Amino acid sequence: MKTIDVPPATCRTCGKLNDQISGVGHGHSAKPGDLSLCIQCGTLSIICDDFSLREPSEDEAAYLERLPDVIKARAVIKAEAAKRSGNFHFHGVRQ
C-alpha cells in the first residue's frame, strides 16, 4: 500500500478532512482519473489532475458503484465505522 500526501479536501458527505491517499490492495501511487473512497464514510470521488477530488457524474457513479472492488471496499469502511460507533456486534452460537 503506497500512501501519498494530497491537497487537503473535506468530504462532501461526512465532512472529514482527508489529506492522504493510499492504494488499496496494491502498491501503486494514486494518479489523476483514479477513484477515491472517503475512509470515514465511503463516498466515491474521482481524483483530478491537481489531486483535488470531484464528484462523479451520475453516469460515472452508476457504473462505479457496481464495481465489485468498490462494493467490497465500502463494506469494509462501513464495518469499521460501525465498530467506531460502538454498536457493532457479531451474532454467533455458543460452542
Stretch touching Zn ion by CB under 5 A, among 20-28, 31-39, 63-71, 76-84: 31-39
Nearer to Zn ion, 3 or 10 (CB): 10
Asked if 11 touches Zn ion (CB under 5 A), the answer is: yes
Place of cell 468498490: 70
Position 40 contacts Zn ion (CB under 5 A): yes
CA distance 54 to 57: 9
d(CA 81, CA 76): 9
Task: Return the amino acid letter for 30.
Answer: A
Does the protein bind Zn ion through residue 13 (CB under 5 A)? yes
